[in-house]
Each structure stands twice: as C-alpha cells, then as structure tokens.
Chains A and B, each alone.
Chain A
C-alpha cells in the first residue's frame, strides 16, 4: 500500500515583516520551513503506517531547488522516499498549474498511490485549493480538514474524523482518495539523531518538466489561469491608541465609552 504526501516549503511567516517604504516583504533572515499543516499530514501518514503493515510513504514537493530541505525533513520524520519536482518552467504556477503538475507526477511516478495526503492549507498563501484540485484531476474523492484517519480492516476504505462547523463528522471514502489534514492530536516533533542518520540513506530524486507528460504551456506561469497584477501592503491601522495604568473601573469606562462612540451600545 502506498501513501503519497504532498508538501510545500514556506517562509516562516511569524518573522515576515514589511518594508514600510516599498510595501514589500523583507526576506532577510526569514527561514524556510516545512509548512506546519504539511508536517501534520506527514505525521498522519506515519501513524497510519504504524497502525498497519506494508505501507510506503512517498513525500512529493514542487518548488525551487532549496525545497529539498523540506523533503529532507519529511524523510527524517518518517517518509520512505521523496520526489522534488523542480524546474524553471514551473515558476509562477498558480494553484491550478501546481495541482496539474503534482497530479502529473503522481500519475507518472506513483500511479499505484492508494491515498494522497495534503495539509489543509499552506501558511504563506492560505488558499487550500491545490489538494481538491489534485483530487479532481486524478478523479478521486476528497475529504477535507481531517483530524483522525484510519483504514478499514480490509484496507479498501479510509475513515476520517474531520472538523466541521458544528463539531466533527466522520466520513468514509473508497480508496484511492485524497485527504487534507488539520492539526488534530498531532504534535510537531524534532527528529532524533537516528532519524536524521536514517534519512541520509533514503532516496530523494528529482523530477523535471521533461519527466512529465505535460506541454510547456500547461506549466508554471504559462499554465496558470490567475495572474497577480499588483502586490501592496494592507492599509495601515489608523488612530489606534493604547491606554495604560488605569484602575479597572477607569479602564472599563474607557472601553464602554469607545463602544458607545462606535455605536455598539447606546
């Protein structure tokens, strides 16, 4: 049985700051990390493997050459193999072109994938679109926002407890299927020294545009249906103020007056 986990390398947004003059992101000193939700997806795969037998986990990432480090982390955290999907021709891909490329890699290199796991969203773009788009292109059912995953005893179906607005819902889908995962009970963990050493013996291979059955006009910017036409900083917060050193009653009065002036209470 085979689980493919699609992962993305992202900038650590906690440290992202904006240059006040140019209105653009300051990149210096911002680390690239494995997207946390992708890490949870990988951990869900590792848990399925621990609970069952003969499961191979393949991590796949599309990105620039340095995305290799995100895949190394996947190998350290329990993936058996990894594929870096990288080519200048992929640059500028929107979610559609990304999904088309990743689906083509899976179709070509891992056609026997039983389960595809993705993080519910990447923390840089937050679109949550690539997963469902891959599922549609590959003709698979999808279950989003999973927090607990299990295989049925005959391993023909996946059962997923997922977050919904009223609480949780348990859904089942026949394999092959795609599941996007939220955090759930999973914890981020540091790989041990043994994990790091064993990852070095694992295979991380490169797939380029030449390995795919897609034409150049389906790749990257040329294959993207959406275009970013402008990037700008959000409107600065105007007139914010901070009050300090007030007694609780005075502080409460301050808030009440504000709520009244804004029309929230009369």
Chain B
C-alpha cells in the first residue's frame, strides 16, 4: 500500500493534483488516501519531499541471472504458399540487437510453423545470433493452443531474459497466453524499450487514450515479456554476411490439444498491404462525402507508395471493410506519414494513429481536433484539394 511519511510531508498538495484516480486528499494537517488508490505511483513520482513510497517485493539477483538472451517471436505469414517472417519481426530484431548488445547476451528468433517455413536465414541477416525453429504439421496455421504450447516449451527450456512479440492480432492473442502459462509479467503495446542500469527492460507504453505514458519494469519474473507496436522501430537493411544458425526444436503436439477449429475464412481485404505495416497511410473520414470520392484518396495513397485506410465512421457506413479501420475499435497504426482526409479526430481515432511520425490533416472545420496533433493542418475542402494535390505531385 501507499506509505506516507507524515513528518517530512509539507502538505504542498502536488500528490493530490497528480492522482489520476482522485484518491488523495490533502487536509489541514495531513494527507489521506482512500480506497480509490490503485498504487499506480503517479504521486510518488511528483512528490518533491520524497514523502511517499510504495512497498514492493524483491527478487534475488542470482535467481534473475540464470536467464539470458533477448528472444523474439518471429511471426510468419503466408505468402505464395510459403510461410515467411512478417515486417514487424525485422523491426524487433533490429531493436532487439541493440538491447542484446547492451546486455551482452545473444539475440534469438523463434519461428513456429509447418514445413512451409522459409526465408529464416534473413532472421540472422537481420541481427539474430540463432534461429530456433519448431516445425509441426499442426502448426500449419495460427492457433492459440498450438502456438502457446510450442512457444512456452521453447521459452521454458531456453530461459531467456527478454521475450518480445509484435503487437499484431496474433501477437496479442499469444503473448498473454504464454505469459500466463509460465506466470510471467507482460506489458502490452509498447512504443519504447530500453535497458536500465540494473539490466532491467524498461517498457514504455501509452495509456488513457495516449494522454499519458507509463514506464514499466518486470522486476521478479523472467523472461520480461512485452508486445511491441509495429512501425515503432525501423528495421535496418539485412546484412547477408552475418553467420546463419538455424536449429530445429522438436515439439509434441496432439490434435486434441488444439481446442479451436477453423470453420470458415472470409476474405474482405483487397487493398493488399496491411495498414499497420504501411509506411504511408492516407486515411479517409466522413468528410469525404460519399464512397465514390474514396477513389481520390486511394489514388493519393498509391501515388505516394502507401495504403488507404479510414475512420470508424466510414466503416460503419459500409464504404470500406473493417480491416482498413484505424482507431481503438480497429487497428492501431504508426506510419512514417499519416494523411487524414476529412477526419475530425475523435479521441478513439487519435488513439489509433497519434504515434505516426508525421501527420497531415485536411478538414473543412477549422476547430477539428485532428489539427491539434497535425504537423501540417490544412483547413479546406479535401474534395477540391486532392485533385490539385494529385496534379502537383505527378512525377
């Protein structure tokens, strides 16, 4: 619980102001905490007197030192009948390389799939010292049960210090399952990862709709697990000179252990590139007026070598499939460039795209909230501006 050192408290009231839950009251002679306190630590952070503390439990350094290595789940996807690592894996390996070097530990990629797994040497070219590969016919497609069992088996045997997943739909399905099986701490949707002076993984993530950032550590469980948003770290160019080491890891899986069955797959995505992987996104909102105008948006996206996306409003109108929806109830994206066309910027949308590196917004309403986060905001009618823009950037 929150401990207050009353003698050194000078009743400045900063803790009361900083409490996200309104749990602290500064009275005339002392501060009090009520049951709304969640021990989030915001007050401990701001107290100039260091009068506040939270008791935490400890783990022995010897215990933690038995775990070594930064491991990355190399999520693979089907491409032309083959299974190959997806883009976020290369981003994680590039950043994981710097974490592993800082720790003086190896970087290892774990690939799960069936006989169609290929292109795994690229994982080493991208920075991995080893690739551990589980091939099994029951890992033909993603299943929570099959992948949890295989990955947990590798992790339990290899005892890594850090385990990273891309925060993709399957990554967010698998990571909590593996973490719970092995009783490990897990941090979701990180946008920053670093190693502190004690060699701990410091995981930074947004919360409360991106209004606040939190840095999180995992002091007494190993591996320290995190899912990481795609497009946060840049993948470096692969180095084909790096040595390749791929080893097979046999797993036992039975059909009965996979308790879900695929009945049907319904493909609606036709735009090709996944929006969370696109470097440039041009995103349409209700301000585009009608579905036929989306052609302008699509042409701009293609002209820039990017992909088209959209807001929840136009998904609900049926203009585009949900696979292209940016936002809290859709996909969280963080491209290099995000062009919002006729999107007002409701918080649920902004949460899903505010980590974009550059944001351009076009909207008729000068007070649209999207302008608060735009690097370049243009007040005007997108339907008149886009044709001129397409002309202006003709190559």
CB neighbours (8 Å) of B220 from chain A are 225
Query: What 1/0 mask marks residues of chain A from 50 to 64 whose CB sits below 8 Å from any chain B CB?
Result: 000000000000001
B379 near A226: Cβ-Cβ < 8 Å: no
Q: In the assembly, what is the distance between CA of A221 and CA of B274, in Å?
A: 38
Give which listed residue, A14, A221, A251, contacts B347 with CB less than 8 A.
Answer: A14
Identify which of A77-85, A107-115, A198-206, A257-265 touches chain B: A257-265
Task: Mark B366-378 against chain A: 1 for CB-CB distance below 8 A, else 0.
Answer: 1000011111111
Residue of B nearest to A173 (CB): B260
Chain A hits for B347, CB < 8 A: 13-14
Interface contact A234-B210, CB-CB below 8 Å:
yes
A248 within 8 A of B: yes
How far, in whole Å, are A96 and B202 apart by their CA atoms in the complex?
Answer: 18
Chain B residues with Cβ below 8 Å from A133 are 176-177, 179-180
B64 contacts A by Cβ under 8 Å: no
Per a CB cutoff under 8 Å, which of A136, A225, A232, A234 touches B221?
A: A225
- Spot the interface stretch: B14-22, B107-115, B244-252: B14-22
Nearest residue (CB) in A for B180 is A136
**CB closest residue in chain A, given B392:** A256
Within the assembled complex, what's the spacing in Å between the Cα atoms of A132 and B280? Answer: 32
Nearest-Cβ distance from residue B221 to partner chain A, whole angstroms: 5
Chain B CB within 8 A of A189 CB: no
The tally of CB-CB contacts under 8 A between chains A and B is: 319
Known: A135-B177, A137-B180. A253 touches B392 (CB 8 A): yes
The stretch of A20-28, A41-49, A68-76 that contacts the partner chain: A20-28
Query: Which of B348, B379, B392 makes the CB contact (< 8 A) with A244?
Result: B379
Of B179, B218, B220, most buried by chain A (CB within 10 Å of CB) is: B179
Q: Is B302 an interface residue (CB 8 A)?
A: no
**Alpha-carbon distance between A231 and B264 when the two chains are bound, in angstroms:** 44
Q: Which residue of chain A has its CB nearest to the CB of B386?
A: A252
Fill in one digit per residue for B212-227: 1 if any A CB lies within 8 Å of its CB, else 0.
Answer: 1111111111000000
CA distance A96 to B259 in the complex (A): 23
Which residues of chain B come closer than 8 Å to A165, judged between CB atoms? Answer: 168-169, 269, 274, 323
Q: How far is the CA of A180 from the CA of B390 in the complex (A)?
A: 42
Interface flag for A183 (CB, 8 Å) = yes
Closest to B218 in A: A226
B152-189 interface with A by 8 A CB criterion: 168-169, 172-173, 175-177, 179-181, 183-189
The verdict on B66 contacting chain A, using a C-beta distance below 8 Å, is no
The reply to whether the CB of B35 lies closer than 8 angstroms to some CB of chain A is: yes
CB <8 Å contact, B379 and A245 = yes
* Contact A262/B39 with A141-B145, A248-B388 known, Cβ cut-off 8 Å: no
CB distance from B274 to the nearest CB of A (A): 6
List chain A residues, Cβ under 8 A from B187: 226
Q: Are A265 and B206 in contact (CB under 8 A)?
A: no
Count residues of chain A with CB under 8 A from any CB of chain B: 100
Chain B: which residue is nearest A164 at the CB level? B169
Bound-state Cα–Cα, A45 to B159, Å: 41
Question: Contact at A182–B329, with CB atoms within 8 Å?
Answer: yes
B-chain residues with CB within 8 Å of residue A126 when the two chains form the complex: 188-189, 206-207, 209, 328, 351
A5 to chain B, nearest CB (A): 18
Contact call A125/B211, Cβ cutoff below 8 A: no
Give Cα A118–Cα B181 distance, bound, in whole angstroms: 19
Residue of A nearest to B354 (CB): A234
Partner of A252, one of B1, B321, B354, B389: B389
The smallest C-beta distance from A236 to any residue of chain B, in angstroms, reads 10
Bound together, the chains give a CA A31 to CA B37 distance in angstroms of 17
Q: A13-B347, A129-B188, A234-B212 are in contact. Are A142 and B177 (CB under 8 A)?
A: yes
Given A143-B260, A171-B263, A136 and B177 contact (CB-CB distance below 8 Å) = yes
Supply 21 A–B pairs (Cβ within 8 Å), ascending by A: A13-B351, A14-B347, A96-B180, A128-B188, A129-B188, A130-B176, A132-B180, A133-B176, A136-B148, A136-B177, A142-B177, A165-B168, A165-B269, A170-B263, A170-B265, A173-B259, A227-B217, A239-B375, A242-B376, A243-B377, A265-B304
Apart from the given pairs A145-B169, A265-B304, 17 other A-B contacts in the complex at a CB distance below 8 Å: A13-B351, A24-B46, A92-B40, A96-B184, A126-B207, A126-B328, A129-B175, A130-B176, A132-B177, A174-B259, A240-B373, A240-B376, A248-B381, A255-B376, A258-B375, A258-B376, A264-B337
Q: Which residues of B contact A (CB under 8 A)?
A: 1, 14, 17-22, 35-42, 45-46, 54, 56-57, 144-145, 148, 168-169, 172-173, 175-177, 179-181, 183-189, 202, 206-221, 259-269, 274, 280, 304, 321-323, 328-329, 336-337, 346-348, 351, 354, 358, 360, 362, 366, 371-381, 384-389, 391-393, 395
**8 shortest interchain CB distances as A-B pairs:** A92-B39, A225-B185, A252-B388, A167-B268, A136-B180, A141-B259, A127-B188, A242-B377
